[in-house]
Chain A
Amino acid sequence: MLQHDVLIVGSGLAGMRAALEVSSDPTLDVAILSKVHPLRSHSGAAQGGIAASLGNSAEDSWDLHMFDTVKGGDYLVDQDAAEVLTREGPENIFELEHMGCAFSRDDEGRVAQRRFGGHTAPRACYAADRTGHAVLTVLFEQLLRRGVKVYSEWYALDLVVKDNVCQGLVAYDILSGQIEAISAKAVMFGTGGYGRAFRVTTNAFASTGDGVVMAYRAGIPLEDMEFVQFHPTGLQGSGILLSEAARGEGAHIVNSDGFRFMEDYAPGRMELAPRDIVARAEQSEIEAGRGVTALRDSVFMDLRPIGEERIRYALPSVLHLARDFAGIDPLDAPVPIQPTAHYSMGGIPCDINGQVRIKDLDGAPEITGFFAAGEASCVSVHGANRLGTNSLLEAVVMGRRAGRGILDVVHDLEPTSIDEGDMANAVGEVDHFLTADGSQKVGEIRAELRDTMMDKCGVFRDDAELKECLSEVKDYQERFKHISIDDHGSTFNTDLLDAIELGHMLEYSEVITTGAIARQESRGGHARRDFPDRDDENWHRHTLAYRPQEGEDGPRLEYCAVNMEPRFREPFPLQERTY
């Protein structure tokens, strides 16, 4: 059995920021474990920026940022968390800058800031349009400097919890095929989101919600899983992200008539309305027959109003992506775009110190020694819809807070251990896939699942489609019991990992759909045609989905209150959300 004081799973911004914080205590042995090398983590794909009210470009304040965040999240945001996020934003940015982050600069030599959807001030700090990459790189560099142990290309199989005390992890070394137990007094999940269950997505192949499902299987309820953000500017077909920074810099979105249709949906903000609103507007235009290209399944984003020089300087990745992946030069022509599954608002419930806990239960941690941060978690700073550039900020701020949360308790935690019995689930799962001899194929089930989720649990939802969706997901779960894989080897067996990941996708897809059926209102990223209005009386509350016990047919749903108690100001009262 391998052993560390602290084990962090996932090596994106949240995981690495937390590890860096924990490593400031030289008496602690901290390790990071990730199924991809840290530099491959999906945080690196974030393009447009990281929000903080530095006020470098225009007057700004943390409570303005907080208000934008709460409103952007359609008031499902926990206000204690949004307060922490926005108050601590600037110092976190300066800290990254001091670590050497390659932020673009303004004329005064300060960190440059630009506009982003749903933010009333220009507060997106950026590194051209590769901000995530810049932050990810700098955090990894500093981890190397600290000499933090990294289990690179190790796949976490199972979270071990005994008597409500987290013991550690069972993990699979992708290179050797060995299964190892790794005990730790504190485990943190920064394992990312779950967008891969949708056909059109910006998410990396790796974003399969592994951590979320491991927590769920360990008995922790998942919060607000039905809230999935569809980003309005995915490249047609592949769904590859074109940064919102394009709109921040002045790109227009037009329908087949050449009309900037946001005029009809959010005249006050036009293209810079929050993502859920722009995505729905696009979908409505497409469904009304005003889509573009032969398929009529997309609308146009026109970058030309920005001007060639600025496009080249501020949006080089957008320029390259459109050229390389759509064969279109945005300097000459508009780019067809469509809504694409982008961000997972839901996840593992935790408090503002990263401690995993079930809210509304008087503060006592449910599971000792288990933390979460970033997209895998649900604090909830994003509520029903995340604003652009708040995700990187959350990963950094909450990653640091989780690191400090761990430092606060870890010295008082007892050493843990994992025995063979605790490893049985993980060993059994791997063994099952390696020896299964059914006729079903992972690739086929996965493709069908992604179609189902996209078409029936997408930008707009209704009861009938969602119920069909759920029934299809259950069919896939059944078929998944009868699969076989081709690769039975022990070295770099990605066929095996595909199967394990599909198991995760099938499990959380059921949770998303179940939560979506139950929530009979429209709020943020969850838009019901049959319940088009927000219903605060009945639904201003978080969903908590528990894994079914023996005899239960599906996830058991409970609900808990939204936090309305920020410490340093009055809470923002619920208002109608218009832009």
Chain B
Amino acid sequence: MAQQEFIIERYNPDTDESYEESFNVDVQPGQTVLDSLNAIKWDQDGTLSFRMSCRHAICGSCAMKVNGQSMLSCQTQVDAAAERGDPIRVGPQGNQNVIKDLVVDVNKFLNQFERAETWLEPYEDQEPPEREYRQKVEEFDHWSHASTCIHCGACYSDCTVAAVDENFLGPAALAKAYRFVMDSRDSKREERLQFLSEEQGGIWDCTRCYMCVQACPKDVLPMDAIMELRTLAIEAGHVNNHGVRHHKGFMSGVRKRGRLDEMMLPVQSVGIGRLLTGNLAAHKEMMDYTPGAIRLLKSRKLLTIAQRHGANADGREQIERIFEEVEAEKHHHDVDAEAFGAEFETAIGGH
């Protein structure tokens, strides 16, 4: 029987003391990190606190950081976590306040679902069918990955946006919102797309770092869902918002000059039209960019007008070709809007 060292980040709420503590545990082949935490709790130190319940990766209780990454401790083999015999570091999830040891306050994460109203809103103006709504296998298969979320919070814990933005809805709530946008039984598709486009912390705040997809112990693919929501929102005409303007400004800059145009981007994001019509809020948004712009200027990150020439003619031609090719390609997740509408009708009609 081998021994494995665990270094656990602990927090004692009674003394408000944070510290690391090391434990040695006898490990058998097949033993998980959760088994090891239980061995510590039951045989060495009963004061160690953590959440757990099902121990087979479905209840979502035991997500924590193992060697710096969020994962379900029940699903993580000691052998896999212990590289080269190093100690295994175990700590609480990120982006949430620690209550005690490995227990965090999950309300901040779970409240995002309520904010995004991630539940089915049935059609008010009609009775549901006598039997089930019909949903094609292909339709179900398209979004069902997003329904496998076990709300463990691993994605939120490791989300780089949630780390800096309290308002961010986060990967899990957005993926769940996507699941209802895609579900033909839901009556609030339009309202959802509008909310997700315009809400502070909605779909446009994701930075596409991919940490959520990496952390997710299931098949949710939150970032893919967020990207598809963006496409759907634009298709649905929700374009008059900061996120879309930023997105388009970013693209037009690259297309025109072959590089990011930091000078114009804020103006385009806030909206030239809004600025020209004297929209006060828009001018305030511009003012908010000023400190950042000054910092960029000082560190020579913001190009002056004289430096904004960008790519040469050949380069621009190539860039244009890339854009054309991408535009010709259909997004792999793209849904044919017309076909969706037809299916929608059938589904609502039930049998």
| Contact partners of A493 in chain B: CB under 8 A | 49
CB pair A102–B147 under 8 Å, yes or no, is yes
Task: Select from chain A the residue with minimum beta-carbon distance to B219.
Answer: A316
Which residues of the other chain, A, contact B120 by a CB distance below 8 angstroms? 99-100, 138, 141-142
Chain A residues whose C-beta falls within 8 Å of the C-beta of B58 in the assembled complex: 44-45, 130, 132-133, 317
**What per-residue 1/0 map shows which CB atoms of B183-204 lie under 8 Å from chain A?**
1011000000000000000000
- CB < 8 Å neighbour of A40 from B50, B59, B149: B59
Given contacts A100-B119, A134-B147, whether A94 and B56 have CB atoms under 8 Å apart is no
- Chain B residues near A579 (CB, 8 Å)? none
Q: Answer yes or no: B137 CB below 8 A from chain A CBs.
A: yes
Residue of A44, A320, A321, A494 with highest tally of chain B CB at under 10 A = A494
Q: CB < 8 Å: which of A93, A133, A142, A485 contacts B119?
A: A142
Pick out which of these stretches binds chain B: A103-111, A245-253, A404-412, A454-462: A103-111
**What residues of B have a CB within 8 angstroms of the CB of A263 in the complex?**
none
Which one of B38-46, B163-171, B312-320 is at the interface? B38-46
Which of B128-136, B260-268, B331-339 contacts its partner? Answer: B128-136
B254 at the interface (CB under 8 A from A): no
With A109-B135, A316-B219, A487-B46: A141-B57 Cβ-Cβ less than 8 Å: no
A209 and B55 alpha carbons, distance in the complex (Å): 18
Select B99's contact among A103, A325, A327, A492, beta carbons within 8 Å: A492
- Of B52, B53, B119, B148, the residue contacting A141 (CB under 8 A) is B119
Q: Does the CB pair A137–B47 fall under 8 Å?
A: no
Give per-residue flags for B1-43: 1 if the beta carbon is below 8 A from chain A beta carbons, else 0: 0000000000011100000000000000010100000000111
Q: Is A564 an interface residue (CB 8 A)?
A: no
Please give, as numbers and ranges, the residues of chain A lying within 8 Å of B55 by CB-CB distance: 204-205, 238, 240
Q: Is the interface of B mostly helix, strand, loop or mixed?
A: loop
A324 CB within 8 Å of chain B? yes
Residues of A within 8 A of B46 (CB): 442, 485-487, 495, 498
Q: Contact mask A311-325 → B, CB, 8 Å, 1/0?
A: 000001100110011
Tell me if A487 and B56 are in contact (CB < 8 A): no
Q: Is the CB of A37 within 8 A of B54?
A: no
Give chain A interface residues in 124-147, CB to chain B under 8 Å: 127-128, 130, 132-134, 137-138, 141-142, 144-145
Residues of A within 8 A of B186 (CB): 100
Interchain CB contact under 8 A, A40 and B53: yes
Chain A residue, CB-CB nearest to B12: A489
Interchain CB contact under 8 A, A105 and B30: no
B286 an interface residue at 8 Å Cβ cutoff? no
User: Given A36-B53, A486-B47, A492-B100, are A100 and B180 also a contact pair (CB < 8 Å)?
Assistant: yes
| Interface hub of B51, B58, B118 (most chain A Cβ within 10 A) | B58
A-B interface pairs (CB < 8 A), number: 167
Question: In the complex, which residues 453-486 of chain A have their Cβ closer than 8 Å to any Cβ of chain B?
Answer: 485-486
B14, B45, B147, B150 pick with most chain A CB within 10 angstroms: B147
Contact yes or no, A443 B43, CB < 8 A: yes
Q: Is the CB of B53 within 8 A of A100?
A: no
Whether the pair B42, A443 counts as a contact (CB closer than 8 A) is yes
The complex places the Cα of A104 from the Cα of B139 at a distance, in Å, of 11
Complex contacts, B50 vs chain A, CB 8 Å: 494
Among residues of A, the one whose C-beta sits closest to the C-beta of B137 is: A105
A24 within 8 A of B: no
Choose one: A100, A104, A321, A327; the contact of B30 (CB below 8 Å).
Answer: A327
Tell me if A98 counts as interface (CB < 8 A to partner B): yes
**Contact at A37–B110, with CB atoms within 8 Å?**
yes
B47, B122, B180, B219: residue with the most chain A Cβ atoms closer than 10 Å:
B47
A491-B53 contact given A99-B120, A141-B120, CB 8 Å threshold: no
With a cutoff of 8 Å between Cβ atoms, the chain A residues found around residue B49 in the complex are 487, 492-495
Do residues A133 and B180 form an inter-chain contact, with CB atoms below 8 A? Answer: no
Residues of A within 8 A of B110 (CB): 37
What 0/1 pattern do residues 105 to 119 of B give for CB contact below 8 A with A?
010001001100111
Q: Is there contact, CB below 8 Å, between B147 and A42?
A: no
* Interface status of A206 (Cβ within 8 A of chain B): yes
Q: Tell me whether A98 and B128 are in contact (CB under 8 A).
A: yes
Taking the complex as formed, is A28 at the interface, i.e. its CB lies under 8 A from any CB of chain B?
Answer: no
Whether B134 and A36, one on each chain, are in contact in the complex, defined by CB atoms closer than 8 angstroms, is: no
Asked, given contacts A44-B54, A144-B119, A489-B47, whether A100 binds B136 with beta carbons under 8 Å apart, the answer is no
A326 near B: Cβ within 8 Å? yes
With an 8 A cutoff between CB atoms, is A360 at the interface?
A: no
* A97 contacts partner chain B, Cβ-Cβ < 8 Å: yes
- Bound complex: CA of A142 vs CA of B32, how far in Å? 35
Does B60 touch A at the CB level, under 8 Å?
yes
Which residues on A sit within 8 Å (CB–CB) of B30? 237, 325-327
- B103: Cβ under 8 A from any A Cβ: yes
A159 to chain B, nearest CB (A): 23
Is B140 located at the chain interface by the 8 A CB criterion? yes
A141→B179 CA distance, assembly (Å): 13
A44-B58, A109-B134, A486-B46 known; A130-B148 Cβ under 8 A: yes
Contact for A321 among B56, B59, B77, B140, CB less than 8 A:
B56
How many angstroms between the C-alpha atoms of A456 and B142 in the bound complex?
49
Chain A's interface size range is: 35 or more
Distance of A516 Cα from B244 Cα, bound (Å) = 68
Measured between beta carbons, the chain A residues less than 8 angstroms from B43 are 443
- Least Cβ–Cβ distance between A317 and chain B, in angstroms: 7
Q: Does A165 lie at the interface of the complex (its beta carbon under 8 Å from any beta carbon of B)?
A: no
Which residues in B have their C-beta under 8 angstroms from that of A320? 57
Q: Is B238 an interface residue, CB under 8 A from the partner?
A: no
Task: Report chain A residues within 8 Å CB of B70.
Answer: none
Contact B113 A324 (CB under 8 A): no
Q: Any chain A CB within 8 A of the CB of B144?
A: yes
**What residues of A have a CB within 8 angstroms of the CB of B132 in the complex?**
93-94, 97-98, 103, 110-111
Asked whether A175 is an interface residue with its Cβ less than 8 Å from the other chain, the reply is: yes
Q: Assuming the A-B contacts A94-B132, A110-B132, A144-B119, are A324 and B57 also in contact, with contact meaning beta carbons closer than 8 angstroms in the complex? A: yes
Nearest chain A CB to B276's CB is how many angstroms away?
Answer: 43
Chain A contacts for B69, CB-based, 8 A: none
A39 touches B53 (CB 8 A): no
Once the chains are docked, how many angstroms separate the CA of A132 from the CA of B148? 11
> What's the least CB distance linking A244 to chain B, in Å?
15
Tell me if A398 counts as interface (CB < 8 A to partner B). Answer: no
Q: How many Å from the CB of B225 to the closest CB on chain A?
A: 14
In the complex with contacts A39-B151, A45-B59, A205-B55, A105-B133 CB distance below 8 A: no
A109 / chain B contacts, CB cutoff of 8 Å: 134-137, 346-347
Chain A, residues 327-338, CB within 8 Å of chain B (1/0): the string is 100000000000
- Asked whether, in the complex, the Cβ of A205 is within 8 Å of the Cβ of B137, the reply is no
Residues of chain A within 8 A (CB-CB) of B149 are: 137
> A102-B147, A204-B59, A486-B45 are known contacts; what are 17 more A-B pairs with Cβ within 8 Å?
A37-B110, A39-B150, A44-B54, A44-B59, A93-B132, A98-B185, A109-B136, A133-B148, A237-B30, A240-B55, A324-B77, A325-B32, A325-B56, A327-B30, A443-B41, A491-B99, A494-B49
The 5 closest A-B CB pairs, nearest first, are: A486-B46, A100-B120, A443-B42, A109-B134, A141-B119
A residues neighboring B (CB under 8 Å)? 36-37, 39-42, 44-45, 54, 93-94, 97-100, 102-111, 127-128, 130, 132-134, 137-138, 141-142, 144-145, 175, 204-206, 237-238, 240-241, 316-317, 320-321, 324-327, 441-443, 485-487, 489-495, 498
Listed by A's residue number, 22 A-B pairs whose Cβ atoms lie within 8 Å are: A36-B53, A39-B60, A39-B151, A40-B53, A41-B59, A42-B59, A45-B56, A54-B131, A102-B144, A105-B136, A132-B58, A137-B147, A138-B120, A141-B120, A142-B119, A145-B119, A204-B54, A321-B57, A324-B77, A489-B13, A489-B100, A492-B103
